[in-house]
Amino acid sequence: MSTRENPAGLVVLAVDDERAGLDEMKFLLGSNPRVGRVLTAFDAAEALRLLRSDDPELIAGREENESIVDAVFADVSMPGLSGMELARVLTAFRIPPALVFITGHEENALEAFEVGALDYIMKPANADRVDRALRTIEKNKEQSGKSGTPQPLEAAVPDDDEVIPVELAGTTRMIPRKEVRWVEAQGDYARLHTTEGSHLVRIPLAQLEERWGEAGFLRIHRSFLVSLALVSELRMSSSGYSVVLGGGPPKELPVSRRHTRELKDRLVKAPRDSWGQP
């Protein structure tokens, strides 16, 4: 089934083996002005048959080997081919659709992002949460168009409420970005430091630097990314500069020479903007 309200909007496929869940997602997507068309499938196998369709109406305007939809909103737990297995198949597309998981369980959050999911929405979904996911999809699509090549889904601009799934003794916990004071590089991984402790995630520091720049995080050293809002002091010594972070027990971190100028500029600019000075 499909609906069409805005021909210029996103084409989205909703996949859920439960009728109530599928109807709800179809309604939420179809009611959003960012969406031009909603397709539905009762399971992953049906979704793949639709995605590989040669229906002229569905492939009109699409590049060769490009998915016929801009995004897939899929339930994680489905009989037969699961949402995770569907995600791995989608990565074989030359220009894959964005993937958003809809689920009632948190334990698959980490795996979801590892297979390239752009977002992870907990049931019951609501219109605002779906809209945030659609905004992220639009931004990712725009970036892909500007570069001429599809961008990695994990490099999409995150929304204001981004959370990071971390594993704690077999349990997946969602850490809000706003709780992170600083991030420390550990090889190809990154360690998030909060007031409650630290968490190792499978994300390189350089990727977090790119994703979180607009949210007020700044690289001050090859090993450190900090929340500028928590910088309480900038210190100078014979060995160079360092910053002191508040928002918890004071923490002093070194600033490398190459990052000093940008840090100073950002720290001076923020107070001026807040006081409305030129």
- When pLDDT is cut at 50, 70 and 90, the band that residue 108 belongs to is low
Residue 168: φ, ψ to 5°? -130, 105
Answer yes or no: is pLDDT of 222 > 50.
Answer: yes
How far is residue 154's CA from residue 185's CA, in Å, rounded to a whole number? 18
**Does residue 177 come out as left (phi exceeding 0), alpha (psi in the -120 to 50 range) or beta?**
alpha
Angle at alpha carbon of residue 26, lines to 22 and 29, rounded to 5°: 135
Comparing 241 with 238, which gets the higher pLDDT?
241
- When pLDDT is cut at 50, 70 and 90, the band that residue 134 belongs to is very high
Answer yes or no: is pLDDT of 5 > 80.
Answer: no
Provide the mean pLDDT of the chain. Answer: 79
Answer yes or no: is pLDDT of 66 > 60.
Answer: no
Q: Mean pLDDT lowest for which of 6-15, 139-148, 163-172, 201-210?
A: 139-148
Most confident of 78-92, 200-214, 221-235: 221-235
pLDDT for 271: 46
- When pLDDT is cut at 50, 70 and 90, the band that residue 56 belongs to is low
Percent of the chain with pLDDT over 90: 31
Comparing 159 with 269, which gets the higher pLDDT?
269
- Regarding pTM above 0.95, the answer is no
- Residues 106-112 have a mean pLDDT of 61
Comparing 215 with 271, which gets the higher pLDDT?
215
Q: Mean pLDDT lowest for which of 1-10, 165-174, 258-267?
A: 1-10
Answer yes or no: is pLDDT of 137 > 70.
Answer: yes
